[in-house]
Amino acid sequence: MLSRPGEFARLAEGGVTRTHPLLVGRFVRTDLTQTRFGLATGKRLGGAVVRNRVRRRIREVLRVMAPSFQPGWDVLIIARPAIVEADHDALVGALRRILRSGGVLGGQAEP
């Protein structure tokens, strides 16, 4: 997981951004052998309990998808307020779509 402010700043400066009504993904190519993720859940989502629940739900979906990740990416997932009310299938679909369009799932990035 990404946790240092400098890592988040590097993702904010460059890379590719993909959007979905539930979340935003920012992608930067690295030369590492693994893919690292950072999660951003702002106060617009709700209180700490709600934000922590959203982070747990996203981490669980990422854990299940982990075997199919392409190596060498830093990814920042930014949750949008609509994600609070979304069911599990909608969350999985949104993450799959964002990661596929960013190139983390299945190879090449879509234009």
Give the model confidence (pLDDT) of 6-33 as tens digits: 888 888 787 899 999 999 999 999 999 9
Length of the chain: 111
Query: Cβ(82)–Cβ(45) under 8 Å?
Result: no
Q: How far is CA 80 from CA 23, 31, 43, 66, 67, in A?
A: 5, 29, 10, 22, 26
For the whole model, what pTM was predicted? 0.89
Q: Which DSSP helix (H) or strand (E) runs through 9? A: helix 5-13
- Written as one string, the DSSP assignment of 36-49 is EEEEE--GGG-SHH
What was the pLDDT predicted at 111?
Answer: 45
CATH code linked to domain 5-102 = 3.30.230.10
**What are the domain boundaries of the chain?**
5-102
CA pair distance 78, 39, nearest whole angstrom: 6
Task: Read off the pLDDT of residues 30-84 as tens digits, 9 standing for 90 and up.
Answer: 999 999 999 999 999 999 999 999 999 999 999 999 999 999 999 999 999 999 9
What is the rounded distance in angstroms from the CA atom of residue 92 to the CA atom of residue 61? 6
